[in-house]
Amino acid sequence: MTTSSSDSPAATVITVAMAQPFTDQKPGTSGLRKSSRQFQTPHYLESFVEASLRVVPGVQGGTLVVGGDGRYGNLAAIQTIARMAAAHGVARLITTTGGILSTPAASHLIRTHQAVGGIILSASHNPGGLEGDFGVKINGANGGPAPESITDAIYQATLSLDSYRTLQADPLPLDQPARLQMGAMAVEVIDGVSDYAALMQKLFDFDRLAALLKGDFRVAFDAMHAVTGPYATSIFEQLLGAPSGTVRHGLPLEDFGGGHPDPNLTYAHDLAALMLEGEAYDFGAACDGDGDRNMILGRHCFVNPSDSLAVLTANATLAPGYAQGLAGVARSMPTSAAADVVAKSLGLPCFETPTGWKFFGNLLDAGRITLCGEESFGTGSNHIREKDGLWAVLFWLQILAVRGCSVADVMADHWRRYGRHYYSRHDYEAIESEAAHGLYGRVKGMLPALVGERFAGRAIATADDFAYTDPVDGSVTQGQGLRLLLDDGSRMVLRLSGTGTQGATLRVYLESYVPPSGALAQDPQVALADLINAIDALAEIKLRTGMAQPTVIT
């Protein structure tokens, strides 16, 4: 390593040379997600940040937002990024006390401060700590995940990187709000919660919600020792007056208390047991590591995320922020078509995008949609450009407050009106990479010959690898998941995860529609059993992965 310095008016910018180029960034991904130990490799974080600061338009003289979900490495990374931002001529850096900033709150700050973008430190729902994962996400000026044009340019920049620029400066004190200076760069340390809470107050009727939460309606919110703790405590317990203890595991911890901050029935099992087996609570919810995902539960009732998007669409006008109605709605391809049925009945445009929030960004920016969602516990709207966990929780509470009924009632009523999309996702995590790609490649090769074949007693109408043409800019994205669509509207999708860090994760998405006149109260695993068996036989999942069952069933 060699260093050379050049004088700048306020502090010394140094250029650090690197012996090896950086090869870990995958093209087409808007961040870098790896093990915490990997991030400790010398120059690792710096390499990705250097490439990003070189590529994001307007960095020199612009405003940048930085913060993260509080996991191990968060504070150190903020200091590193601040020094590098100063060396790259960023005029103003906005960060938060304790470095705590949820992904949706970051999106909001980028937008309200006209920042050129943001750097969010999180590996989202992956476990944290020294033995867990760390990540860096780059967001653009609209507050959403950087688009492919930028992420591809970052990838290109990493390939020829031989040095990075940083500043020699003391660490920033982040323990309280302050206006600071680092070299020529102004630094604002703000309370990361209040702007976000104010935004929620504009969208939802807080008087009505307070009346609900101060009454005998009991809420259990599980922050999973991740970033939403301070947000949820401020909103539920302070602003809305819910009893203290409503927020569980509310203190952000560097290792999330050893848990896996993924709000699903497997990893949020305590909350699931409380709601599905107990009688004490009317409403339960949890969010993930960086606060963009949500799980909604009622007493003895789990709301699958695809249904949640459909319910929010059908009831949107009950919330003040959406009282004027919706421009349209979008869902990711593997998400069930429950929202499509509602959109059709409301006469709303409905879009089907590839997995990942960045695809919703263009539709939101163009005003073509108001709500969007993914089956992976992600729901959001045009209020920001990320999915938003607490927003979804508040939206549900708003609906329950206005309608004065239970979660189970809302769901039963919804299915009676629109029919039910039985839905499940089976994840096979951390399988050997070769086995996963072998399985996937084999099914992909079989697709053309499958059209017209019989499958689980039905005929295969479409078998393809999903490709998306963006209706706003015409860009085409290919290879987004293998689809088998049956002639009765049932669907199966196979995808390989892009967010796992160990081996490969195969996701199998299963869906079958029952009209309002049909059997609406079955267990989804029972309703989908024939599809589950048939896709296993076709794709040889158990055989090729060596796993008797999925690691996670949603």
Kindly give, in sequence order, each residue whose CB lies less than 8 Å from that of residue 261, ignoring residues fewer than 6 positions away.
125, 127, 128, 224, 225, 226, 267, 288, 289
Q: Is 332 a catalytic residue?
A: no
Say if residues 428 and 552 touch (Cβ distance below 8 Å): no
Query: Closest separation between CB of residue 390 and Co ion, Å?
Result: 12
Stretch that binds Co ion, among 94-102, 155-163, 248-256, 287-295 (CB under 5 A): 287-295
Tokens read off for 341: 């049925």
Query: Closest separation between CB of residue 287 and ligand VG1, Å?
Result: 9
Query: Would you say 205 or 288 has its CB closer to ligand VG1?
Result: 288
Q: What is the chain's alpha carbon radius of gyration, rounded to the nearest angstrom?
A: 23
Query: Closest separation between CB of residue 290 and Co ion, Å?
Result: 4
74-94 burial, b at 16+ Cβ within 10 Å, e below that, comes to bbebbbbbbbbbbbbbbbbbb
Query: Closest separation between CB of residue 291 and ligand VG1, Å?
Result: 9
Say if residues 465 and 478 touch (Cβ distance below 8 Å): yes
Nearest to 146 by CA among 114, 185, 119, 127: 119
Amino acid at 268: A
Tokens read off for 343: 């959109």
Nearest to 145 by CA among 96, 110, 190: 110
| Residue 69 binding Co ion, by CB under 5 A | no
Tokens read off for 360: 């919703």
Query: Closest separation between CB of residue 387 and Co ion, Å?
Result: 7
Query: Closest separation between CB of residue 227 and ligand VG1, Å?
Result: 11
Query: Closest separation between CB of residue 425 and ligand VG1, Å?
Result: 8
Q: Which residue number is nearest to Co ion in terms of Cβ?
A: 124
Residue 522 contacts which entry, ligand VG1, Co ion, none (Cβ below 5-8 A, type-dependent): none
| Residue 292 binding Co ion, by CB under 5 A | yes
- CA 191, CA 177: separation in Å to the nearest integer? 6
User: How do strand 219-222 and strand 283-287 relate by DSSP bridges?
Assistant: parallel
Contact pick of 30, 36, 107, 124 for Co ion (by CB under 5 A) = 124
Catalytic option among 30, 47, 102, 124: 124
Residue 507 contacts which entry, ligand VG1, Co ion, none (Cβ below 5-8 A, type-dependent): ligand VG1
Residue 374 contacts which entry, Co ion, ligand VG1, none (Cβ below 5-8 A, type-dependent): ligand VG1
Query: Would you say 291 or 328 has its CB closer to Co ion?
Result: 291
Query: Would you say 292 or 511 has its CB closer to Co ion?
Result: 292
Query: Would you say 50 or 292 has its CB closer to Co ion?
Result: 292
| Residue 290 binding Co ion, by CB under 5 A | yes
Write phi, then psi, for 91 (nearest 5 degrees). Answer: -80, -35
Sheet holding 482-486, edge to edge: 454-455, 458-465, 482-486, 491-496, 504-514, 420-431, 552-553
| Residue 288 binding Co ion, by CB under 5 A | yes
Residue 367 contacts which entry, Co ion, ligand VG1, none (Cβ below 5-8 A, type-dependent): none
Q: Report how many residues bind Co ion under the rule CB under 5 A.
A: 5
Query: Would you say 286 or 311 has its CB closer to Co ion?
Result: 286
Count Cα neighbours of 466 within 13 Å in the Cβ-side half-sphere. 21
Q: Which residues bind ligand VG1 (CB under 6 A)?
A: 124-125, 288, 292-293, 332, 355-357, 374, 376, 378, 497-500, 507
Query: Would you say 282 or 388 has its CB closer to ligand VG1?
Result: 388
- CA 309, CA 304: separation in Å to the nearest integer? 9
- E strand or H helix at 439: helix 433-450
Q: Which residue number is nearest to ligand VG1 in terms of Cβ?
A: 124
Count Cα neighbours of 103 within 13 Å in the Cβ-side half-sphere. 31
Kindly give, in sequence order, each residue whose CB lies less than 8 Å from that of residue 337, ignoring residues fewer than 6 positions away.
331, 421, 489, 491, 511, 513
Query: Would you say 205 or 292 has its CB closer to ligand VG1?
Result: 292
Stretch that binds Co ion, among 121-129, 143-151, 352-360, 363-371 (CB under 5 A): 121-129
Which residues contact Co ion (rule: CB under 5 A)? 124, 288, 290, 292-293
- Give catalytic residue positions: 124
